[in-house]
Amino acid sequence: MKVWDEMISCALVEGRTYLMEHESKELLERQGIATTGAAVACTAEEAVEISNRIGYPVVLKVLSPEVIHKSDAGGVKLNLKNAASVEQAYAEITHAFQDKNVTGVAVQRMASPGLELIVGVSRDPTFGSVLMFGLGGVFVEVLKDVSFRVLPVTDADIEEMIMEIQGYPLLRGYRGTAVDLGALKDMLRRISEMVTRYPEIREIDLNPVFLYEEGYIAVDARIFLERPEKSELDVISGEHSTGGKSSLRTLFYPESLAVIGASDKPGKLGWNVFNNLLQHRFAGRLYPVNVNSKTVQGVRAYSSISEIDDPVDAAVIIVPAALTLEVFEDCCRKGIKFMIIESAGFAETGEEGENIERDLKKLAAAYGCRFVGPNCSGIINPHHRMIQSIGTIGELRPGNIGLIAQAGVYVAGMIWGMRHTMDFALVATIGNKADINETDMLEYLGEDDNIEVVCMYLEDVKAGRRFIDTASEVTAKKPVIVLKSGRTEAGKKAVSSHTASLAGNDLIYDAAFRQSGIIRAADNEHMFGLARAFSKQPLPSGEGAMVISYSGSWGVAAADALSMSGMRLSDIDDATLGRLGAILPPYVGINNPVDCTFEMNALQLKAIIEAGVECSDTSSFIAVIQAELLHTYAEVLPEIDFRGKPIICCVPCKEFAMDNVITLEQTGFPVYSTPEEAVAALSAMHRYASAISCRITG
Ligand code: ADP
Ligand code: MG
């Protein structure tokens, strides 16, 4: 567009990185975005002439590359009703800014008051351009009540970002007032299109926009310019990664695996890794490589990778950082396609380590191989009996949870305990992710049919746009639960010193996760609590839940939690009420929550559920059961036919009945300590199920 190019070059010639109000408004108008317009006057006469033309009342504003906040310095004169007041305002403005470089005075229509909004665009190093929307004035200044979405946005994104702000009820209307939400959505869509079309736009500030019963008008506008570097765009889209589109399947299911640095000395990490592979009877051929030993843990060892005659699919490297380049190149020459570098001492420690990482990447690109890490804890695949963890782990049952974790020790230290209540299909640690990153892993976990639920522990994301696109595809097939740390400034510092990565702005991450359909976990407990429910129980088909409890108060707590998380107690039909009456003691009222009193027992629960599955409004169950009787429930629950309706167990004081909790969990019943936690899991499943059906039908 000619005007656009002219404006940019004009701004650049003047050394400006932003467009002034009249220029910004002109561009917006050309995109079909309504503004009060602005014509430039360089004399009082011109100001009057323009005012006569556009009609009174008018507004005069100072136009100066040196003035950002015009009204602070007396540069905005509102509601000028005639030529005399325009002349006076003109004189006042020029006087107030006589020391500044003033381009002129903007003359524009005076807009009638409406609901004040702020609409903006800014650029994030990870995700690229992001759109912001909120209510203006104190809502934005004090309450910071705004929402974000990564651009470009879909209509659904726009809808969600509007509904997400705290002040949404003001938009929806109260006491007969209403605003034009259709016009608002149209404006946001046009802004998105504009920024996508003109990547030179670094930031936009429309503050305020007045929203009316019909239409809206932008009264102040400022656009900041900066052409993004190609390298910046590549980072966001993920073009910079060395890898191609080839599947990572061989990495996760290698037929042969070398362990370079496998050790015969207990206590060394190279001992742990090899011992894990041996103990779990790795489902392929194993080749320990060690320069000093003829055998490692009883297995014939090789002094170098080149000594192995057979083809090797993948190699774990666990030698000092300074030796990795040499070892890595040996692997490349041998034709190994996947390397897992578990050694530490790379980018997380400083420049020297960073240089080694860079050289590793060059080698990988030259030989067409890919690598995980460095500074990770390898891959765990119980379906392939492949445990590369640096922490020794007991028996692992193959399951359906996929876990991607940035930090190696996090996984190594946690799986030992988690395996009692969670069954993993794959655990992939990514460490410094010099090559294979979280999105590559996520893409693969999306394809692997053993995996039904994905959990991710992230400290940052490498290529934001590619992450959103990939995650959107995966979440359409299976739930993805993400715990992202580094939310606070303090957390961020800890992150950079830990894995040499910088955490991005948390609000943008939040927006990106929402846009991708990701379920964001508040903490570790929450993530694994959700994973247990999603991995063990079917999704509920509706919002009605039957709560069965041994105590009225637990039942009430569950009912409250349900209604606060978009679910509700199911309506029990008369036939079901009749059946429940025959099961329950005569002295209790028959209702939902079903209060069995402290006489509650396993057979009774079975009978209630068998009645409940017949009730059409009941799509799920929450059972609050006694910790001291847990073993009896563990025997009976597996015998019940739930007809595809999920059940979530709540066992207050469950931490003192862990043996039975583990039995229940292993037979497929997730157990939580409180009704609130149980509902948090169930409602997340309900939301996911609804979002999926919306995506399918909408
Ligand atoms: P600033 O650079 O200080 O943000 P603005 O252009 O936003 O200057 O003007 C300050 C305030 O004046 C706005 O928040 C709005 O309330 C009011 N205002 C500005 N322009 C107009 C207009 N054309 N019609 C009605 N009110 C306006
Ligand atoms: Mg303003």
Considering only CA atoms, which residue is closest to atom 16 of ligand 1? 208
Dist. CA 591–CA 549, nearest whole Å = 11
Q: Using an 8 Å Cβ cutoff, are 24 and 223 in contact? A: yes
- What is the Å distance from ligand 1's center to 76 Cα? 7
Dist. CA 413–CA 13, nearest whole Å = 58
Q: What is the pLDDT of residue 2?
A: 59
Q: What is the pLDDT of residue 239?
A: 61
Is the CB–ligand 1 distance for residue 208 below 6 Å?
yes
Among 220, 222, 223, 224, which residue has the most ligand 1 atoms within 8 Å of its CB, making it the best to mutate?
Answer: 220
Is the CB–ligand 1 distance for residue 111 below 6 Å?
yes
Q: What is the pLDDT of residue 502?
A: 25
The pLDDT tens digits for 602-629 are: 999 999 999 999 999 999 999 999 999 9
Is the CB–ligand 1 distance for residue 209 below 6 Å?
no
Nearest to 93 by CA among 69, 73, 110: 73
Dist. CA 248–CA 339, nearest whole Å = 11
- What is the Å distance from ligand 2's center to 38 Cα? 14
Considering only CA atoms, which residue is closest to atom 23 of ligand 1? 110
Dist. CA 63–CA 670, nearest whole Å = 64
**Secondary structure (3-state) at 204:** strand
Is the CB–ligand 1 distance for residue 220 below 6 Å?
yes
Dist. CA 313–CA 336, nearest whole Å = 5
**Cα dihedral sign for 283, 285, 289, 294?**
positive
| Alpha carbons within 13 A on the beta-carbon side of 145 | 18
Q: What is the pLDDT of residue 139?
A: 74
Q: Which residues of the chain have pLDDT under 70?
A: 1-3, 12, 174-177, 235, 239-246, 408-409, 487-504, 696-698
Dist. CA 625–CA 197, nearest whole Å = 58
Q: What is the pLDDT of residue 68?
A: 78
Considering only CA atoms, which residue is closest to atom 10 of ligand 1? 71
Q: What is the pLDDT of residue 488?
A: 53
483-504 as b/e: b if 16+ CB within 10 A: bbbbbeeeebeebeebbbbebb
Dist. CA 74–CA 100, nearest whole Å = 13
Is the CB–ligand 1 distance for residue 343 below 6 Å?
no
Q: What is the pLDDT of residue 514?
A: 95
Under DSSP, the state recorded for 302 is: B
Residues in the chain: 698
Dist. CA 111–CA 36, nearest whole Å = 7
Q: What is the pLDDT of residue 65?
A: 82
Considering only CA atoms, which residue is closest to atom 19 of ligand 1? 219
Is the CB–ligand 1 distance for residue 20 below 6 Å?
no
Is the CB–ligand 1 distance for residue 553 below 6 Å?
no
Token output for 277: 């592979």
